Amino acid sequence: MLRFFELLRKRKELIPIVALMTAAASAGTGTSIYFLATKTDVIVNKTGNPTPWENVDPKKPQKLMTIDQKWEPVEELQMLKRYTK
């Protein structure tokens, strides 16, 4: 680790590259943790619930940004779901 800082002192042109790579890695890790913790369509434990997609609220958007999207249930699928339970 000490050699790394010595290298950065000798070659100052590497400092912006190291800073950008650190920021990109931190943003990627943070985004992954955010989606694992908050989104219902991300599944970590597959054995606990065999059909987790049925727990997703269709009226709540799952994307980061949704523009003019409205959801209405399809009657045929709702009837099929009632018959299969």
Domains in the chain: boundaries: 2-84
DSSP the chain: -HHHHHHHHH-GGGHHHHHHHHHHHHHHHHHHHHHHHH-TT--S-TTT-S-GGGGS-TTS--SS---S------HHHHHHHHHH-
Task: Look up residue 60 and give its amino acid.
Answer: K
Evaluate if pTM is beyond 0.85. Answer: no
* 1 compared with 65, residue with greater pLDDT: 1
User: Per residue in 8-67, pLDDT tens?
Assistant: 899 999 999 999 999 999 999 999 998 888 876 677 776 777 777 777 777 776 666 767
What tokens were used for 39? 């989104």
